[in-house]
Amino acid sequence: MKTTLGRRTRILAATTATAGLVLVAGCSSDDDGGSGTKTAAGGVELVKAGQLTTCTHLPYPPFQSEIDGKVQGFDVSLIDLVADDLGVKQEILDTPFENFKTGAFLNSGECDLAAAGMTITEERKKNVDFSDPYFEATQAVLADKDSGITSFADLKGKKVGAQAQTTGEDYAKDQGLDPVSFESSDAVLNGLRTGQVDAVVIDYPVVQGWLKDKANADAFEIADNINTGEQYGFTVKKGNTKLLAAINKMLADAKADGTYKEIYEKWIGPYDESAASPSAS
């Protein structure tokens, strides 16, 4: 998984499968929207009345990105289901990715949960509570078709790009590479397009999204796909058991009634049962 987009934050109001941009001056955990209660269905306590506030980091397609001025994606659609179950609407706050690792925006009361295609790791579990895994992720090597790179082993001595503070970057470093760090997934792709790097190492679903664009598919190819055992999870503030239970219930129900499969096929591609149904950590 994935890092820092910038220091500014934005509130993005989400509707089912889409979200519209709403510019605000700031965010306060004391603001209850003017009326109503902060207690949602099931006794879940929310930071703002009438809304489920989600921290994310943009862009990270196909999990969350702005498309035609609206935030959309796999994670957005799944968390919309949680909001529906709680009887509220989802609001999305775009934040720097390092806050996801520390749980800063959860601890400060600015967000109820974080949804950002984030890999479950033991280090991150020290700061946040993870939901059941909802996606099995692998790392992909994407390279120019004329590069001669056909496997991860071919990256030795090459200029390799990765997104900063992600497991892809960590994996490349662990394998003895010295990757060029890019701030966002868009910057990673631009680095490859402009020849700043010969290849990139990044989550496979992100590469899948890139290759849906014909220009990318004509220029680049997947040189390798590496199973690193990564699983994605949503996070809540440590001890927020009721919201965590609501998220896990949504995942179980969506997989049982076929909703998860529909969302998967819309945003990821052909349904992959092994990726869609990872065992809980």
- pLDDT tens-digit profile of 119-131? 899 999 999 999 9
257 and 123 in one domain?
yes
What pLDDT score was predicted for residue 277? 55
Q: Is 201 within a domain?
A: yes
Mean pLDDT for the stretch of residues 265-274: 79
CA gap 255, 280 in Å, rounded: 14
118 and 150 in one domain?
no
Mean pLDDT for the stretch of residues 99-123: 91
80 and 25 in one domain?
yes
pLDDT tier at 272, thresholds 50, 70, 90: low
pLDDT tier at 274, thresholds 50, 70, 90: low
What pLDDT score was predicted for residue 34? 39
Q: Is the per-residue pLDDT at 248 higher than 60?
A: yes
What pLDDT score was predicted for residue 1? 54
Q: Is 5 within a domain?
A: no
96 and 42 in one domain?
yes
Q: State how many domains the chain has.
A: 2
- Neighbour-count burial for 139-169, b at 16+ CB within 10 Å, e otherwise: bbbbbbeeeebeebebbeeebbbbbbbbbbb
Mean pLDDT for the stretch of residues 251-257: 96
Q: Is the per-residue pLDDT at 5 higher than 50?
A: no
DSSP string, 151-162: SGGGGTTS-EEE
What pLDDT score was predicted for residue 167? 84
pLDDT tier at 181, thresholds 50, 70, 90: very high
Query: Count of alpha carbons within 13 Å of 212, Cβ hemisphere only?
Result: 12
Q: What CATH number corresponds to the domain at position 266?
A: 3.40.190.10
148 and 130 in one domain?
no
What pLDDT score was predicted for residue 22? 32
24 and 71 in one domain?
yes
> Which of the two residues, 24 and 159, has the higher pLDDT score?
159
176 and 146 in one domain?
yes
CB 76 within 8 A of CB 14: yes
What pLDDT score was predicted for residue 19? 40
126 and 54 in one domain?
yes
Backbone angles phi, psi at 231, to 5 degrees: -130, 140
Mean pLDDT for the stretch of residues 208-233: 92
pTM above 0.75, yes or no: no
Range of the domain at 193: 138-228
99 and 73 in one domain?
yes
How high is the mean pLDDT of the chain? 85
Q: Is the per-residue pLDDT at 24 higher than 50?
A: no
Range with top average pLDDT, 37-41, 67-71, 111-115: 111-115
Q: Is the per-residue pLDDT at 152 higher than 90?
A: yes
Give residues with Cβ within 8 angstroms of 61, minimum separation 6: 73, 185, 206, 209, 210
239 and 215 in one domain?
no
What pLDDT score was predicted for residue 238? 97
What pLDDT score was predicted for residue 187? 93
Q: Is the per-residue pLDDT at 206 higher than 50?
A: yes
Return the minimum-mean-pLDDT range out of 30-34, 89-93, 140-144, 272-276.
30-34
